Amino acid sequence: MGIKKDYDNTGITSENRAADMAADRERAVKAGRLDYPFVAFVLLIVFVGLVMVYSTSAYRGMELFGDSAYFAKRQLVFAVSAIIIAYFVSKADYRVIAKYSKLILIISMVLLILVYIIGTASHGSARWLYIGPFGFQPSECAKVALIIYTAAACTAHTKSLNSVKGIVKIMLLPIVAIILIAIENLSTAIICFAIVFIILFISSPKTWYFIVLALIGVAGCGLFIAFAGYRADRIRIWLAPEKYPDGYQTMQSLYAIGSGGIFGRGLGNSIQKMGFIPESHNDMIFSVICEELGIFGAVCIIGLFVALIKRCTVIAMNAGDRLGGLLVSGVMAHIAVQLIINISVVTNTIPPTGVTLPFISYGGSSIVFILIEMGLVLSVARRMKPAG
Partner 1 sequence: MKLYSFNRRRIFIVFLCMLGAGLFLTGRLAYLMIYQSEHYTMLADSLHERERSIKAPRGRIYDRNGNILADNRAVCSISVIHSQIEDEEEVISALLTYLDTDEEKVRTKVTKNSSREIIAVNVEKSLADEIRELNISGIKVDEDYKRYYPYGSLASKVLGFTGADNQGIVGLEVSYDDVLSGTDGSINAVTDAKGIELVEFSESRVNPIPGKDLVTSIDLNIQRYATQAALKVMEEKNANRVCIIIMNPQNGEVYAMVDVPEYDLNNPFELNYEANVTEDNQMDLLNNMWRNFNISDTYEPGSTCKIVTLTSALESGAVTKENTFYCPGYKMIEDRRIRCHKTTGHGSETLVEALMNSCNPAFMEIGERTGAETLYEYYGKLGLFEKTGIDLPGEGSSIMHKLEDIGPVELATMSFGQSFQITPIQFITAISTVINGGNKITPHIGIRFIDSESQESNVLEYPVINNAIKESTSNTVREMLESVVSEGSGSKAALPGYRIGGKTATSEKLPRGTGLYISSFIGFAPADNPQVIGIILIDEPEGVYYGGTIAAPVIRDIFSNILPYLGIEAEEIPETDTEQ
Where do the DSSP E strands lie in the chain? 120-122, 125-131, 134-136
> What's the distance, CA 303 to chain centroid?
18
Nearer to partner 1, 23 or 84 (CB): 23
* Sole binder of partner 1 in the list 102, 322, 334, 383 (CB under 8 A): 322
Per rule CB under 8 A, is residue 86 in the interface with partner 1?
A: no
* Sole binder of partner 1 in the list 9, 40, 43, 59 (CB under 8 A): 59
Per rule CB under 8 A, is residue 68 in the interface with partner 1?
A: no
Q: How far is the CB of 302 from partner 1 (least distance, A)?
A: 6
Segment 193 to 232, residues that bind partner 1, using CB under 8 A: 198, 201-203, 205
Which of 357, 334, 347, 336 is CA-nearest to residue 279?
A: 357
Q: Enumerate residues 6+ apart whose C-beta is below 8 A from 303.
A: none
Q: How far is the CB of 285 from partner 1 (least distance, A)?
A: 15
**Contact status, residue 102 vs residue 10, Cβ threshold 8 Å:** yes
Q: What is the dihedral of CA 124, 126, 127, 128, to 10 degrees?
A: 110
Segment 2 to 21, residues that bind partner 1, using CB under 8 A: 19-20
Can you tell me whether residue 157 is helix, strand or coil? coil
Per rule CB under 8 A, is residue 153 in the interface with partner 1?
A: no
Per rule CB under 8 A, is residue 97 in the interface with partner 1?
A: no
Can you tell me whether residue 338 is helix, strand or coil? helix
Residue 135's beta-bridge partner residues? 130
Nearer to partner 1, 222 or 275 (CB): 275
Question: Residue 226 class from Cβ within 10 Å (0-12 exposed, 13-18 middle, 19+ buried)?
Answer: exposed
Per rule CB under 8 A, is residue 344 in the interface with partner 1?
A: yes
In angstroms, the first-to-last Cα distance of the chain is: 36
347 vs 191: CA distance, rounded Å: 18
Tell me, residue by residue from 246 to 275, as one string, x for binding to partner 1 by CB under 8 A and - for no binding.
Answer: --------xxxxxxxxx------x-xx-xx
Nearer to partner 1, 138 or 297 (CB): 297
49 vs 60: CA distance, rounded Å: 17
> What's the distance, CA 369 to chain centroid?
9
Residues near partner 1 (CB under 8 A), total: 59
Nearer to partner 1, 23 or 64 (CB): 23
Which DSSP symbol is given to 163?
S
Q: Name the one range near partner 1 by CB under 8 A: 44-52, 141-149, 311-319, 352-360.
A: 311-319
Q: How far is the CB of 378 from partner 1 (least distance, A)?
A: 18
Given the rule CB under 8 A, which residues bind partner 1?
Answer: 19-20, 23-24, 27, 59, 155, 158, 198, 201-203, 205, 254-262, 269, 271-272, 274-276, 290, 294-295, 298-299, 302, 305-306, 309-310, 313, 316-317, 319, 321-326, 329, 332-333, 336-337, 339-340, 343-344, 347, 349
